[in-house]
Structure 1
Amino acid sequence: MSEIVPFAIEASHAELEDLGKRLALTRWPDKETPEDWSQGIPLEYMKKIHDYWMNNYNWGARQSRLNRWPGFKTVLDGLGIHFLHIRSRHEDALPLILTHGWPGSIVEFQKVIKPLTDPEAHGGSARDAFHLICPTLPGFGFSDKPTAPGWNIERIATAWNELMLRLGYKRYVAQGGDWGSMVTAAIGTQNLGNCIGLHMNMPMARPDPDTMENLSELEQEAMAAMKFYKNYDSGYSQQQSTRPQTLGYGLADSPVGQAAWILEKFYQWMDCQGHPENILTRDELLDNVMMYWLPNAGTSSARIYWESFGNIDFNTIELPVGCSIFPKEIFKISKRWAKKRFPNLIYFNALEKGGHFAAFEQPELFVEEIRTCFRTLR
């Protein structure tokens, strides 16, 4: 069994100096031709990001904020995995593993850690307390990068179960969105005997053919969202699932290129009323970008699409499942679609605001969804 060692996020002076030099040497493309985001992230906005990153963004202060939570690394199935582990002061708290996706990171969970671990100080009661484990996906952030094929969703799910056992949690619940939702679902499909329930904020289930003649309003929205994604929003996934290595040369070489690749998705997938900074600060957006730039994880994170994008498992999950559907989510499902895949559906709620990065965008709503879903499993 591998040991668990403390780990703090850190950038060297040389790495920050290199970033500054690359930003100073940025070569800009010409301006987009329409006056909107339909061709991608606008030049004017990226120049504002660039100027702030060079002249105002304080990585030292932001690094300290990220390192206020206990961080660790351990080797799982031959790969070093970085994770946060925050124990509640309530010893009988329910262990919860939170998994991020792409283009996110553990930065997404910064606002929900205290409310989930110390609920009495944040509008809840002691019975709502969780011990939190927030791992970084293989090839993302400060987890190690796979050097051979095979790190698909199923392998990650098995590793996550091993992580929970290694931490002493023989009974736990799991939550995720985006690829984190896929990993969480795979934990449920494998059902190794330790996870007792799941919650997903991008649950995946196929539309039920029997409902096509009388679609509800939510189902109509879901079908429209799938069509939009296919026609206008899936170019990134096609590239990352087929040729991530080719893409990676640009992401590894240009900080502005890496930032644009990520920030365009925050604009598109957040419930942000037309601009990402309506919902997140510029510092928060760049914190997440730095989780890709500093460890040079643009290529290695993209490979999760190459490994798993065309092989999503839609098998039935027998474990208790909760679903929270935020209105600006990429893929949405209805309660009756959910029941087809999750027969033990213990919680379902369609919310009025929020998007793909739920914990980051609407932390109060996210926390209440998690608390409510898992109360019946304590």
Structure 2
Amino acid sequence: MNTPEALIPFRIDIPQADIDDLHHRLARSRWPFTVPGRDDRSDFSRGIPVPYLKELAAYWRDGFDWRAQEAKLNQHEQFTTVVDGQTFHVVHVRSANPSATPLLLHHGWPGSFVEYQRLIPLLTEEFHLVIPAPPGFGFSAPLSSTGWEVTRTAEAYGKIMTRLGYARFAAHGTDLGTGIMGRLAAAHPNRVIGTHYGSERRVVGLVGTLFPVPDGLSAEELAQLDAMRAEAASDRGYLEMQNHRPDTIGAALTDSPVGQLAWIVEKFHARNEGSPTPTDAVDRDQLLTNVSLYWFTRSGESSAQLYYESEHAPRDMAFAAVPTGWAVFDAHPLVRRTMDPWNAAVHWSDFAEGGHFPAMEEPELLAGDLRAFFRSLD
């Protein structure tokens, strides 16, 4: 008999009827009229270009093999567990090294545990990996109740690590995961060995809103900051919808696979503009596996609800009194000047390559930085 704190073994097995339904919906897609001249598949100036979206949707329908991807995902141990009434899905990859360090990996939106497929084999010599899906994401959907925001989620992760037998552990996060890992470390500095954040230059767009503008910036730096904030602001439409109208966008994402495809894939371009299209930056099958996961679990809607809950929760900006490392991709000097003006991070790496999804774009660089940071704490 399973207790409320049980770790229940889990395997992904999407019903064939759901796969057939996806193919049927894709075959009957109703496409928008395009503005004349919008025939360049790499022109993302107004969002995802329809020619590129049609190309990707056709491959999703006729070329993409979900069952093959499902089998790859099932190569790793998975379980579900219930914390405070919410079901969490967790991938657990044990190292053969008995002295390996437990490492909690956390993604953001529109990612999933699929992000870490290429990173996992690069880390298992030194780390036991724990990859939970946040409330409302993937197989941690649907939300069990309102009130699931970043602080409550961080506490749930601490309980999951306890259930796994890990008293102390390392933590890494990107995007939403940086906030959750930071809250976890701030609340439990005796348990978190150190926090490592993966970021990119667009994080500067949060300066002046979520983070204060530091003193001492030169006129040139302030001008650069204004330009980078304006660039980031042009990409905030999705955030405003998810923060304030998740029910509205959720209905569209749950009913239309092409809508879900466009909503997610466009962000893989906006967060890495150095590539002509998203599939020039990340593997096409891995990208579509991530999109498929959102589709099959209906987590386009429920993941947006986590954003709403977090936006309407009290702000908790407690800082963790644990060693902190940063790896910044598509780096710019202004990132450290604004995000760490006190040089509090004990480890900082700037990489010209990559972008918002380093585990997919530059897994070797990210793995090397994780190893270097946590080795330095031994």
If the length of structure 1 is used for normalisation, what is the TM-score?
A: 0.90
Secondary structure at 2:215 match in 1: helix
CA contact (8 A) 2:183 2:319 kept: no
Partner of 2:187: 190
Name the SS for the 1:83 alignment partner: strand
- How far apart, in 1, do the equivalents of 2:213 and 2:261 lie? 38
Q: Secondary structure at the match of 1:319?
A: coil
Residue of structure 1 equivalent to 2:364: 364
Indicate the residue corresponding to 1:211 in structure 2: 216
Specify whether residues 172 and 19 from structure 1 end up closer, same or farther in structure 2 by C-alpha distance, changes over 3 A only. same
Distance in 2 between residues matched to 1:226 and 1:313, nearest whole Å? 23
Question: 1:141 aligns to what?
Answer: 138
1:126 match: none
Q: 2:247 aligns with which of 233, 245, 254?
A: 245
Match of 2:90 among 49, 71, 83: 83
Query: What RMSD in Å do the two structures reach over aligned CA positions?
Result: 2.2
Q: Is the Cα–Cα contact under 8 Å of residues 198 and 319 in structure 1 kept in the other structure?
A: yes
Residues 1:150 and 2:155 aligned together: no
d(CA) in 2 for partners of 1:101, 1:368: 21
Cα distance in structure 2, aligned partners of 1:247 and 1:332? 34
Is structure 2 residue 66 aligned with structure 1 residue 59? yes
Q: Which amino acid aligns with 2:46?
A: Q
Q: Deviations over 1:43-86 (max 9, x none)?
A: 10111011111111111111111111111111112111111101
**Does residue 117 of structure 1 match 2:124?**
yes
Q: How much does 1:24 deviate?
A: 1.5
Map of 1:74 onto structure 2? 81
Q: Does 1:17 align with 2:24?
A: no
Q: Within 2, Cα distance between the matches of 1:314 and 1:357?
A: 24
Q: Residue 58 and residue 95 in structure 1: after superposition, are their counterparts in 2 closer, same or farther (change >3 A)? A: same
Q: CA deviation at 1:274?
A: 2.1
Q: Tell me the SS of whatever aligns to 1:142.
A: helix
SS at match of 1:201: strand
The residue identity in structure 1 corresponding to 2:303 is S
Judging changes above 3 Å, is the alpha-carbon distance between structure 1 residues 97 and 289 closer, same or farther for their aligned structure 2 residues? same
CA change 1:270–1:337 in 2 (3 A) is: closer
Query: How far does the alpha carbon of each residue in 1:319-358 deviate from its partner, in whole angstroms, 9 at most, with x for none?
Result: 11111111179x9731574154x84x22011111110001
Of the three residues 257, 260, 263, the one matched with 2:262 is 260
Consecutive unaligned residues in structure 2, runs of 5 or more: none
Who is 2:33 aligned against?
30
Which residue pairs with 1:8 in the alignment? Answer: 11
Give the aligned residue type for 1:7: F
Offset of residue 208 of structure 1 = 4.2
Q: Give the CA deviation at 1:99.
A: 0.5
Larger displacement relative to structure 2 (140-149 or 367-376): 140-149
Deviates further, 200-209 or 367-376: 200-209
**What's 1:376 paired with?**
376
Q: Using the alignment, how far apart are the partners of 1:332 and 1:252 within structure 2?
A: 39
Specify which of 296, 300, 303 is matched with residue 301 of structure 1: 303
8 Å CA contact retained: 1:191, 1:319: no
How far apart, CA to CA, are the structure 1 residues paired with 2:346 and 2:36?
49
User: Out of 308, 313, 318, which is 1:315 matched to?
Assistant: 318
Identity across the alignment (%) = 38
What runs of 5+ residues in structure 1 fail to find an aligned partner? 119-128
- Give the letter aligned to residue 371 of structure 1: R
Residue of 90, 93, 97 corresponding to 2:100: 93
The answer to whether structure 1 residue 180 and structure 2 residue 177 are counterparts is yes
